[in-house]
Copies of this chain bind each other. A is one copy, B any other.
Amino acid sequence: MAEMTETAHGWLAPEELEAIRGRMPILYVDAVPVRVDESGAVTHVGLLLRIGPDGAVSRALVSGRVLYHERIRDALMRHLEKDLGPVALPKIPVSPQPFTVAEYFPTQDVTPYHDPRQHAVSLAYIVPVAGDCRPRQDALDLEWFTPAEAASMMVQQEMTGGQGVLLKQALAHVGRLT
């Protein structure tokens, strides 16, 4: 889960955020971008191609922190625009009910999710995107996978922190995990 630049009123300076981490669970959202056919069935899943601080290549979901006084659906919009560009036309779900909640723990194996920096609790949503996706910031590319490809060992191995598990949960939720 990539760190954001925070400059506006009410946001945290990096050193403040650092101090809070380790003391409180931090609220995140995870979004699984999908392409759907005219009947709403998921045909493809979009994954960001990232290069980590150690140079390792990985694939990731759209993910980020919820800010003070920010609604969850606004956080989803902000992170989707940040990662997919301004003309992706994401369709944020009508219901605040996430398809699951991913609890990223700083220690391994408490849950399937892991984030060495912090205890992050992430509300996970599936988001159809209809427009053009132009990754920005630290993502190199966005690549679309069929459900079968997304669940394959090859793609799963390129995902970190348990996001591969979260992706399989998303596929199961839309009836496309086989």
Please report A residues at the B interface, Cβ cutoff 8 Å.
Answer: 10, 12, 16, 20, 22-27, 34, 36, 38-42, 66-74, 76-77, 91-101, 103, 105-107, 110-112, 119, 121, 123, 126, 128, 165, 168-169, 172-175, 177-178
Contact of A175 among B77, B100, B126, B178 (CB under 8 A): B100
B-chain residues with CB within 8 Å of residue A16 when the two chains form the complex: 23
Cβ of A72 and Cβ of B94 under 8 Å apart?
Answer: no
Q: How many copies does the complex hold?
A: 4
Instruction: Write the nearest CB–CB distance from A19 to chain B, whole angstroms.
Output: 9
Cβ of B177 and Cβ of A95 under 8 Å apart?
Answer: no
Cβ of A92 and Cβ of B39 under 8 Å apart?
Answer: yes
Cβ of A72 and Cβ of B173 under 8 Å apart?
Answer: no
